[in-house]
Amino acid sequence: MSVGVLAHLFGSLPHKELAAKVAESGFTHVQLALWKAISDVDFSKPGNISPGLANAIGEQFDKNGVSISVLGCYVHLFERDESIRRANVNKYKELLRYARFFGAPMVAAETGKNEGGDYTDRDWAVMKATLEELAEEAEKWGVFVGLEAADGHLVGTAPELARMLEEVPSSNIGVVIDPGNLLNAANFARQDEVITEAFDLLGDRIIAAHAKDRILLANGELGTVTAGLGEMNYELYLKLLNQYKPHVHIIMEEAKEHEMAQSKAFMDEIRGRV
């Protein structure tokens, strides 16, 4: 296992400058969300990626000793407005087609969420159809769709993600595990149970991991902080991660630049023991 970072935590920068900054900060891989992290190319609409452009960006990171472990795609995948959903799916499929030219083995996303969490059977069916379409595209190009469960989203729990994987049984769909996304104020006291359940249900499908921390605030809400500054059981998380998926890439989230070195050292110290 090695600890990488979300590239856009450094802001939106020209890709050459971004690659150098990631390397200077001591990271050897990133999750790259093109339209969040790169400022010198307009990725806001599908259609402008080519093998040449993807190679140029990938090669610049490689020159700095940084690989692109994950392409991030932050879109709503069961959007009820069909024209918006179609645009989101097309954006995701474009990343799947060009992922290998960036040097990335996967394109990852959460499912998306509706305000208030008012999900219907139709929402589930639309998400399933979307995932089937994305899996078919991934199979064509030999890459993975990375799916992540997140509290409050349509697929918000480990059992819900396990159900979706069962309903769309493609070997080109994998799991991006993030216990921090599975926790909320109601289940935080049972976090060990939640974390263990996630690995029991999803452990063999994990293809990448995220790292953030959670802390119970004085007002009873669950806050989010960088790894090592909260109350999440990282000993258990990294032990299970090493047990199920040794050498999997871990991507740091929710960190300011001045917190990154301390957080990485925190995780590296635990990794050295488990």
pLDDT, tens digit (0-9, with 9 covering 90-100), for 54-93: 999 999 999 999 999 999 999 999 999 999 999 999 999 9
Polymer length in residues for the chain: 274
pTM value > 0.75:
yes
pLDDT of 122 reads 97
Q: Which of 107, 114, 68, 115 is nearest to 91 (CA)?
A: 107
Average pLDDT of the residues of the chain: 97
pLDDT at residue 249, as a whole number: 98
What is the topology classification, in CATH, of domain 2-273?
Answer: TIM Barrel (3.20.20)
Q: Which residue, among 273, 256, 253, has the nearest Cα to 4 in the 3D structure?
A: 253
Bridge partners of 175, per DSSP, are 147, 206
What are the two backbone dihedrals, phi and then psi, of residue 3, each rounded to the nearest 5 degrees?
-100, 115
Rounded to whole angstroms, how far apart are CA atoms 104 and 102?
A: 5
121 CB-near residues (< 8 Å, 6+ apart) = none
Q: Are 240 and 199 in contact (CB under 8 A)?
A: yes
b/e per residue 43-70 (b: at least 16 CB within 10 A): beeeeebeeebbbebbebbeebebbbbb
- Judged by phi (left if over 0) then psi (alpha if -120 to 50, else beta), residue 26 lies in left
